[in-house]
Amino acid sequence: MSVKIAASQLTASLKKNLLPCYLVTGDEPLLAQEALDAVRAAARERGFTQREVHVAETGFDWRALGASAGNLSLFAERRLLELRLPTGKPGRDGSAAIVELVERLGDDLLLLVAAPRLDRQASAARWVEALGQRGAVVTVQPVELGALPAWIEARMRRAGLVPQADAVALVADRVEGNLLAADQEIEKLRLLLGEGPVTAADVERAVADSSRYDVFKLVDAALAGDAARALRILSGLRAEGVEPPPIAGALARELRVLAKLAHAAASRGDLGAVLRRERVWPSRERQLRAALARHSVRRLHDLVKLARAVDTAVRGRLDADPWQVATELVYGLAAGSRKAN
C-alpha cells in the first residue's frame, strides 16, 4: 500500500523516521522547496553527507542514473540521490529505471524525487506506486485564498513577528495568493522592523512600493555577492532619504547569523542546528551558505563591528561619514574573499 504524507505533516514524520525514498509533488514552489529542504536536512542529520542531483530533461540518459546509484563512495559515505522530473512524466524507460532504483535502495542510499502536481493517471503510474510503497509520496497542496490570512499570520509568528489582524490582512491583499511573494514580504518586515509587534501602518511604510530600492533587496544582493548591485541599491536608498542605521541593522542581523554559522563550520558543528535555532527559513539558507563561503570567522566579526560603527558615526561619536562606513560595510559583505580564521 502506498504511503502518503501531507506536506504540513512532513517535518513531524521525518523526526520519527527517515524512509528510503520520497516523492515530493505539487505546483506551489515555496512549499515544495521547503518540503525538499526538510528531507535534505533530515538526511544530513542521519549521515547522508553526499548529495547528487539529476535533472531528467529531454534526452536524459536513464542508464546514467542507475550507474550513479551503483557507484560506491570512496569513503563509504551515505548518499542522497535527487531526481528532478520537470514534466512529471519520465516515460517508459524512466519509469522502469525509477522502479529498479527503488528496489536497489539500501541503508547507504536515499532517493528524493521532485515533480510537479500529478494528475490522477500519473499518480497511478508504476513508478509513483513503487516510491509510495518503499517510501512516501509527499503532496504539496496550495493554500486556498480563504486560508491565506491564517497561513500568513502563522508564518509571521514563526519569524518572530506579532502582527495585528489588519497587518495580516494588508499583507494578504498585497500578495494576492502568491506564497513566494508573501514569504518575501514577511522576511522584509523581519529585516526592517526586527521581532515584535507589527501594525498595518508598519506594513504600509515597509512595503508601500516593492518596485523601489529597499533594504531587503540590498541584503539579498550583498549576501549573493553582487557588490555592484548592492552598491547601486545603497545609493538609491540614500537618494530616497533612508537613514544609514536601519540599513546597518538589517545587515548586522544577517552577519550575526553568519558568524554563528562560521563558528559551527570551523568546529565541524551542525550548521542545520544553527539555522533552525536562528529561525532561518529554508528559502534563505542557500544565500547564507553562499555568503559563508566567502568569509572567515574573523572577517565576519570585523563586519559586525563595522555595522555598529555606522550607528556610532551617526551619533557623532566616531569621526567618520556614516554613509562611507555603510558603503564599506555593504562592499565588505558582498565582495569579501575567504581568508584563514
Helix (H), strand (E), coil (C) string for 156-177: HHHCCEEECHHHHHHHHHHHCC
**69 vs 40, higher pLDDT:** 40
CA 154 – CA 141 distance, rounded (Å): 17
Q: Model-level pTM?
A: 0.64
CATH 1.20.272.10 region(s) of the chain?
A: 215-335
pLDDT in tens, 294-335: 888 888 889 989 988 988 888 778 888 989 999 999 999 998
What is the structure's pLDDT at 144? 87
Using an 8 Å Cβ cutoff, are 203 and 166 in contact?
A: no
Task: Check if the beta carbon of residue 329 is closer than 8 Å to that of residue 312.
Answer: no
Cell of 120: 490522477
In the predicted model, what is the mean pLDDT of the chain? 86
Per-residue pLDDT tens over the stretch 52-83? 888 888 888 898 887 877 665 545 578 899 99
Q: Where in the chain is the domain with CATH 3.40.50.300?
A: 4-139
Total residue length of the chain: 341
pLDDT in tens, 199-243: 999 888 776 544 456 788 888 889 989 999 899 889 888 887 888
Name the residue among 338, 232, 337, 225 with its Cα closest to residue 288: 225
User: What is the band of 24 on the pLDDT scale with cuts at 50, 70, 90?
Assistant: very high
Is a pLDDT exceeding 50 seen at residue 341?
Answer: no
Give the SS3 label for residue 213.
Answer: coil
CATH architecture of the domain 145-207 equals Orthogonal Bundle (1.10)
Within the chain, all domains assigned CATH 1.10.8.60 are found at 145-207
State the cell numbers at 309: 560603527
pLDDT digits (tens, 9 = 90+) for 110-166: 999 999 999 888 899 999 999 999 999 999 988 888 899 999 999 999 999 999 999
pLDDT in tens, 244-300: 888 888 888 888 888 888 888 888 878 878 877 777 766 678 888 888 888 888 888
Class of domain 215-335: mainly alpha
Other Cβ atoms closer than 10 A to 61 = 12
Q: How far apart are CA 31 and CA 8, in angstroms?
A: 9
Domain 4-139: top CATH class: alpha beta
Q: First CA to last CA across the chain, in angstroms? A: 53
13 pLDDT band, cuts 50/70/90, is very high
What's the sign of the alpha-carbon dihedral 265, 270, 274, 275?
positive
Contact 244, 281 (CB under 8 A): no
